Amino acid sequence: MIALGVVVAAGMSAPAFASAAPVDDIAGALGGLANSLLSDSGLPNSSSELGLGDIIPKVPSPGNATSRCTSVVQVGDSTSVNADKASALPSPSDTASAQYRRVGATSVKVDALSGRAVVGGPGTDAEKAVAGLLSSGSKGCWVIAMGINDAGAISSGSTVSADARIDRIMSALKGQPVLWPTVTTSNPKNQAFGPAAMATFNTALRAALARYPNLAVYDWAGSAPANEFASDGIHYTAAGTADRNRRFADALARAYPQGVAGYLPASRWITG
């Protein structure tokens, strides 16, 4: 209905409240345009049959979108360790599982480990975690909440580049929908995890969009409120984790909305 507003505004030659005449003209213009739209649309052309809601499309409220992702797997580092723990969050409805279910998921798995990077680090790195999940039958939409420790490793001299780290995950997930949030910190004590390190990884992540058509990137770095970080500037408060869970779920719904089939995202770069 943007076009409707443009047509009406263009037809105004006097202020809207100058007299009754312009109002009549507007009503006539609206009626004429509505009849024209109806004749092309096949909708009933009668005021008794047609309501305003039949002409103006319903726009979902922010945060009310649903996703075609019925199965969601989130792979993460220590920033995701508490993402699915109700006892660590303000409310059980704040968990990652609850938030992904809010946008349409029926199956949710969060695989997170402190210190995890895509390659290296303690325990099972993300590359091996993804391989293990795939071999056990996990499939669907993947949220790769990784990059903090990778950015730190690269800034500390790792010879495995950000591009190579991203490629190791994405090459394993060909043909499956992927949402990968950008990474961020807030004045961390350890400057190996500072803004320059995060920017390097995020630049590589955005460049990866050109290589992987099944990849969508959510700019969490551009959205994360500074007051949601814990005192170390890397991890999140309980409220911060809850907000992050909500935003990740909303971003997934925007990248892979209900009604759009296949593994290609409807939006590649998501903000907000």
DSSP letter string, 145-172: E--HHHHHHHHTT-SS-HHHHHHHHHHH
Residue that is written with structure tokens 């056990």 in the block: 136
Q: What gap in Å lies between CA 225 and CA 44, rounded to an integer?
A: 49
In CATH terms, the fold of domain 71-270 is Rossmann fold (3.40.50)
pLDDT at position 63 is: 59
pLDDT at position 26 is: 37
**Do 177 and 142 meet the contact criterion of CB atoms below 8 Å apart?**
yes
Assigned token pair, 8: 């009406």
Task: Please state whether the predicted TM-score (pTM) of the whole model is above 0.75.
Answer: yes
pLDDT at position 9 is: 34
Q: What is the pLDDT of residues 115-174, one digit of tens each?
A: 999 999 889 999 999 999 999 999 999 999 999 999 999 999 999 999 999 999 999 999
Which three-class secondary structure state does DSSP give residue 236? strand
Q: What is the pLDDT of residues 70-118, one digit of tens each?
A: 999 999 999 999 999 999 999 999 999 999 999 999 999 999 999 999 9
Which contacts qualify for 125-134: CB closer than 8 Å, 24 or more apart? 126/75, 126/77, 126/169, 127/168, 127/169, 127/172, 129/75, 130/75, 130/169, 130/172, 130/173, 131/172, 133/73, 133/75, 133/109, 134/172
Tell me: pLDDT of 10 over 90.
no
Burial of 131 (0-12, 13-18, 19+ CB in 10 A): middle
Q: What gap in Å lies between CA 116 and CA 182, rounded to an integer?
A: 16
Assigned token pair, 25: 């003209």
Locate the domains of the chain by residue range: 71-270
Secondary-structure breakdown of the chain: helix, strand, coil percentages, each rounded to the nearest 5: 45, 10, 45
Q: What gap in Å lies between CA 245 and CA 251, rounded to an integer?
A: 10
pLDDT at position 65 is: 85
Q: What is the pLDDT of residues 187-240, one digit of tens each?
A: 999 999 999 999 999 999 999 999 999 999 999 999 999 999 999 999 999 999
**Do 75 and 143 meet the contact criterion of CB atoms below 8 Å apart?**
yes
